[in-house]
Amino acid sequence: MTSRSDRPSVARLSGFTYRESQRGSARGREHSVLHAEEVALPSLADRYGTPLYVYSSATIRERYRIFDHAFRGIPHSVCYSVKANSNLSILRLLAKMGCGFDVVSGGELERVLTADRKAAKKVVFSGVGKTREELKAALKAGILLFNVESESELWALAECADQLRKTAPLALRVNPDVAAETHPYISTGLRQHKFGVPIRAARALYAKASGSRGLKARGVSVHIGSQIVDVTPFGEAMARVAELVRLLRSDAHEIDYVDAGGGLGIAYDHADAPDFSDYTAAYANALATPLRGLGLHLLLEPGRSIVGPAGVLLTSVIYKKENDGKRFVVVDAGMNDLIRPALYGAYHQIVAVSRTSAGATAREIVDVVGPVCETGDFFAHDRELPVVAEGGLLAILDAGAYGMALASNYNTRPRPAEVLVTGKSAKVIRKRESVKDLLQAERG
């Protein structure tokens, strides 16, 4: 198997950069350590332990501003996808910047309302299996839009709205049957997927909804998948949505919104990632071009593209071992902390937190694995990395999205702490769990 090499560049790391350090410098060699903004990662490991999620608030702000700016030419709202990273501090940070939110559960809605009660008016509620309790909670909160995914849900929403004597603003999530080059588990725009209703059936469902006093059609929603790096499928989906909007308006429906969903990918696997400003500009053009002249307000649901590169998972090397020439680096983070490699075979760049100058560091081909009792507990196979001693630190990059959000307590492993860095300051935004925390809710 051909090995892959992780050789980070300053540009690739964004809010995480190497800076020269006097500590541990070898004679005649420059020594540098990875920083989150102005805070050295080894100092965070010393203070808070590992595994540890570390986020850069400057990166989150910067990427949100770039994304929002890309759509400056058309009416729009950015509704951050809470499922990517739902930490309250990150939600508050985004809410203060004027961001709205996309939620897919009653729990996520409660998180948003806890972060900022006023944000309800900027919330869209997606998801294929909303319960009546969740629908009622959203109606009481006064959210912007329900993205309805089936006829059964439509009538459940009507029932809840009638009971509460409210009117539910809705968009049908249509399935445009557009293929996107992404992992099958996160592709959502084809007819064999569980999401949405067939676009050809939507017109009839809107007609049925118009007969209910508790429902008010306000838009059309679409989402074709996640981690999509080619913007072409977004344009294809939006062209089909635009055609539907014209038909619905001819049927006298007042369609004001189009929810374009999320799904814009990030470059996990190479150092020469496209400039984010150029990338989002191309994305904005792909979405906006088919909608020209329709006077619509565009709703956008970025998640990964905002917070993915803003986070790293910091982990310590516990052991190094060799089995008949196969080398392993065993770290204290496991698949329960970051499941993407095990779940999707996803690639994350891994770097040594401390490094010497180029050419002075020996490298080796290793598997980076965790302590969980599963062969699938790995972060990298046959990866070329700098030689790191036992007790050394590695950083798994681009872990800000779907890292902690998907973390579990498998093997009775407490989940990591989370730290948000702003300039020279670091704040714990989720304390590390203990085994006692895990046992507290159980009864013998």
Question: Which residue numbers are catalytic?
Answer: 373
Spatial CB neighbours of 398, under 8 Å, sequence gap ≥ 6: 266, 268, 308, 309, 311, 312, 348, 349
Among 144, 149, 196, 133, which residue's Cα sits nearest to residue 167? 144
Among 398, 396, 361, 349, which residue's Cα sits nearest to residue 32? 361
Distance CA 185, CA 375 (A): 21
- What is the DSSP annotation of 331-397? ES--TTT--HHHHH-----EEESEEESTTSS-EEEEEEE-SSSSTT-EEEEEEEEE---TT-EEEE-
Tokens of 351: 């770097």
Distance CA 311, CA 348 (A): 12
Written in H, E and C, the secondary structure of 279-328 is HHHHHHHHHHHHHCCCCCEEEECCCHHHHHHHEEEEEEEEEEEEECCEEE
- Helix H or strand E encompassing 19: strand 16-20
Distance CA 136, CA 46 (A): 46
Helix (H, G, I), strand (E, B) or coil at 57: helix
DSSP 21: -
Q: What share of the chain is helix, strand, coil (3-state, %, to 5)?
A: 35, 25, 40
Query: What backbone phi and psi angles, to 5 degrees, belong to 297?
Result: -100, 120
Determine contact, residues 193/175, Cβ cutoff 8 Å. yes
